[in-house]
Structure 1
Amino acid sequence: MTEFLRPTRRALLAGSAGLLAMPSISYGQSDVLKIGHLTPRTGFLGPLGEFAVQAATLAAEQINAAGGINGRKVEVLFEDSVNPQTASSKAERYTQRDKVACIVGEINSASALAIGQVVQREKVLFINTGANSDALRGSDCRRYMFHTESQNTMMVKAAGRAILDQGLVRGKKYYALTADYAFGHDLLRVANKYLGENGGSIAGSDLVPTELTDFSPFLLKLRQGRPDVVICNLAGAQVTNFLKQYSEFGLRFPVAGFGFDTALAWGAGPGNFLGTWPVVWHHLLEAPSAKAFTAAFRAKYNRPPENQGWSDYTAMKVIAQSMNEIKSIDPTKVVEHLESGAKFDISKSREGYFRASDHQLMMEMFAITALPAGQARNAYDIFTASAAMPVSSESLETMAAAKEENACTFPA
């Protein structure tokens, strides 16, 4: 698939000018509070990791300008997670050597699982900002792991509602191309369930190695199979490469996907970006805190933030708000606070909260649809967006997997 204090909720994601300084509280500790940031900086997920690092950096600057965490300056340590083995070893270093207050980040679901195992053993808070696998909220859930990133079920329901409205599901045949790793396998399972329940049928399905760059064999299969819709369950730079090659092949089957990051649309560019996709957030939202975040990110990096950046920024702000509200950095106390139903301004029209049963952030989702090349206003505003899902009359939990569908039993 995808680089962040306030005493009042409305100021949570505002720029530093809108945040009130926190009182200085001395615990006889260092004046610096370390947060470990761990996410892919290279490989097929690297473009998303760059946004994650940039947004976490911005959030830390805003947090420090507002008084830090309990009067202590935040210092973020950044590492490239590369793969699950590296993620595990670096998480251990963060917790055992660097004594971080918490860990933020990750995009790869297998790496997030590895980090979750470390923090459960070390009893250190971890907020997953980019790994979508439902299993991380179900069979592989951990008491010290929380998720600002959406789970696959939420992504599938967001895009699924949109393509249902477009007449691309009921009575239609779909061909799925899926990233061959934990995220993709889980996404395909959820997607098949949703499409099947809503009257769709499978015309074909292939697993695609994450290192693949030439999609010609799969594009030939699509041409021969003539599906009603192509379902793209790829991840990271795979999506950008696929869309570019799809356009070059001149295929005209409608395209939709169930896992996405807006950076991948920008990488494909106007004309190559096609179809309808789910996002957890986008830079065109009108909520005041969303506009403040977008403006601050643009001013610092000369481009808008995308949804991976939003997630890391939000995680940093949630940590700071929580630790300041309870006046403690004790991980177990922070976990209890997050499980209590505490609400946060998350740069959307509705506040979010973490569901105690699985630690998933309950929040609105969106579907975006590519604009024709001639209608794109610039390199970034190349899509239209749906209204927030669920609608205001529905519970936020409507988008997530029901507890009985994805049961979580936290290990002791």
Structure 2
Amino acid sequence: MGTRVPLSRRSLLKSAGGVALLAGIGAPAIVRAQSDVIRIGHLTPRTGFLGPLGEYGVMAIDLAVEELNAAGGVNGRKIELLKEDSVNPQTASTKAERMIERDKVACIIGEISSASCLTIAQVAQRNKTLYVNTGGNSDALRGADCKKFMFHVESQNSMYVKSVGRSFLNAGLVKGKSWYSLTADYAFGHDLLKVAKRFMESNGGKFAGDELVPTDATDFSAYLLKIRSAKPDLVVLNLAGNQITNFLKQYAEFGLTFPVGGFGFDTALAWAAGKGNFVGTWPVVWHHLIDTPGSKAFVGAFTKKYGKPPENQAWGDYIAMKIVAQSMNELKTPDSAKLIEHWEKGAKFDLLKTRPGYFRASDHQLMHEMYAVTALPADQVKNQWDIFTSSGPVPGPNEDLEVIASTKDEASCTFA
């Protein structure tokens, strides 16, 4: 055996192994983290009552990353997507912390639960890492709970209410009318009910009743009996996830015929309810029947890959990934502070709709068109996907995008 020659610090640092030894981690991890890939964290519920929607988000962001990597990734670096089931607010917070501190993600995208959005945002703010919310609706996230490092591709509750509220006004279902509402008993539902009541009261209507519904409720018979007795002019659902599907199926079984509508909605839930069960008018951020080249391309690629069309949650995660990658490529950096500055200056993005959108600097809400969809009568439904008709874009082409968003009086944001 030859004589062992001690390595100097300089000679040790010349090798990747030496760097790894001093850093306390493997050399491949360093090389990969610094040059080959850019890591993006994706958190969304894949189990529980929001799980069916989360799965669409996962499929969509996978497609987006596949397309982006095929086109060269981000500044020549391949995107590596780290995906986790966020489960609940506590788990979401823990996983966000791990993604940022251990996995060194450039940003986090995703979520549906407003409560989980807040815990992720708190971690992101503390670590000065960008977080893009793709599914949490609460106005409070854009108001009292807003964060400098959190942006919102998903629309806020005010945008949902004001969009579909136009349809209710046109149909004469507001002034002098009474509504009966069922509301999911968690942050999203409470916030949505507050916004819905503000809309109703400002337009001359009242509530015949409103009920808070546990998120694990599956039997709605007790609520349906109360609705039958109250005889409302409109049954309003501020529910979430598969609660909406279960309610609509049971509503049909009870044979109730009061008009139905809602302020929060996902097209996957209409598909799950099916022909004859899905009724009413609902707001959506996007749907698969939008007639623009961008939407048609997205629907075609998604359908080819997964054998079914994307729904609106899929749009949110897909478009968020595309916005992040586009901005990183334009700025030639994944730096969160630089991205925030760029977005706050009014950068415009193709959202697969009739006009581009932008993030509002005051609360980081994406300003974009929405739609109101109305269920087709059962005898007009030709397949399991195309079960509704749609309004044109809301706001209309000659209106400012911000007319459907919250005003400063309704939800005021002050960044720390």
- Which range, TM-score by smaller chain? over 0.9
Deviation, 1:27, is 12
Aligned equivalents of 1:392, 1:367: Cα separation in 2: 15
1:229 corresponds to which of 234, 256, 260 = 234
Name the counterpart of 1:51.
Answer: 56
1:199 corresponds to which of 198, 204, 207 = 204
Aligned equivalents of 1:259, 1:188: Cα separation in 2: 10
Aligned equivalents of 1:33, 1:404: Cα separation in 2: 40
Supply the AA of the counterpart residue of 1:410: F
Q: C-alpha offsets along residues 372-395 of structure 1, whole Å, 9 cap, x if unaligned?
A: 111012000000000101011110
Name the counterpart of 1:117.
Answer: 122
Q: C-alpha offsets along residues 99-149 of structure 1, whole Å, 9 cap, x if unaligned?
A: 001000000000000000000000110000000000000100000100000
Name the counterpart of 1:6.
Answer: none
Supply the AA of the counterpart residue of 1:49: G
Structure 1 stretches of at least 4 aligned residues deviating more than 3 Å after TM superposition: none
Deviation, 1:77, is 0.7
User: Aligned ranges for residues 12-411 of structure 1 at < 5 Å?
Assistant: 29-411=34-416
Aligned equivalents of 1:191, 1:85: Cα separation in 2: 28
> What secondary structure sits across from 2:394 in the alignment?
coil
Q: Count residues with an aligned counterpart.
A: 386
Supply the AA of the counterpart residue of 1:208: V
Aligned equivalents of 1:263, 1:122: Cα separation in 2: 34
Aligned equivalents of 2:395, 2:164: Cα separation in 1: 12
Q: C-alpha offsets along residues 56-112 of structure 1, whole Å, 9 cap, x if unaligned?
A: 000000100111001100011110001000000000000000000100000000000
Aligned equivalents of 1:256, 1:176: Cα separation in 2: 10
Rg: which structure is higher?
2
Deviation, 1:200, is 1.1
Aligned equivalents of 2:204, 2:303: Cα separation in 1: 43
> What secondary structure sits across from 1:290 in the alignment?
helix
Aligned equivalents of 2:178, 2:409: Cα separation in 1: 29
Conserved? CA contact 1:357–1:403, under 8 Å = no
Identical amino acids, percent of aligned pairs? 66
Supply the AA of the counterpart residue of 2:208: A
> What secondary structure sits across from 2:35 in the alignment?
coil
Distance 1:355 1:248, change over 3 A: same
- Give the superposed CA RMSD: 1.1
Aligned equivalents of 1:358, 1:376: Cα separation in 2: 40
Deviation, 1:403, is 2.3
Aligned equivalents of 2:156, 2:292: Cα separation in 1: 23
Which of 1 and 2 has higher RCO (CA within 8 Å, sep 6+)?
A: 1
> What secondary structure sits across from 1:381 in the alignment?
coil
Distance 1:330 1:371, change over 3 A: same
Conserved? CA contact 1:108–1:130, under 8 Å = yes
Aligned equivalents of 1:238, 1:392: Cα separation in 2: 34
> What secondary structure sits across from 1:74 in the alignment?
strand
Aligned equivalents of 1:377, 1:338: Cα separation in 2: 42
> What secondary structure sits across from 1:343 in the alignment?
coil
Aligned equivalents of 1:27, 1:352: Cα separation in 2: 34
Deviation, 1:196, is 1.2
> What secondary structure sits across from 1:37 in the alignment?
strand
> What secondary structure sits across from 2:34 in the alignment?
coil
TM-score, normalising length: structure 2: 0.92
> What secondary structure sits across from 1:99 in the alignment?
coil
Supply the AA of the counterpart residue of 1:127: V
Aligned equivalents of 2:223, 2:250: Cα separation in 1: 10
Supply the AA of the counterpart residue of 1:167: G
Supply the AA of the counterpart residue of 1:101: A
Aligned equivalents of 2:234, 2:92: Cα separation in 1: 36
Aligned equivalents of 1:270, 1:164: Cα separation in 2: 26
Aligned equivalents of 2:80, 2:279: Cα separation in 1: 40
Deviation, 1:205, is 0.6
Deviation, 1:287, is 1.2
Deviation, 1:404, is 3.0
Supply the AA of the counterpart residue of 2:186: Y
Deviation, 1:340, is 1.0
Structure 2: gaps of 5 or more residues? 1-30
Supply the AA of the counterpart residue of 2:367: M
Conserved? CA contact 1:274–1:369, under 8 Å = yes
Deviation, 1:171, is 1.0
Structure 1: gaps of 5 or more residues? 1-25
Supply the AA of the counterpart residue of 1:219: L
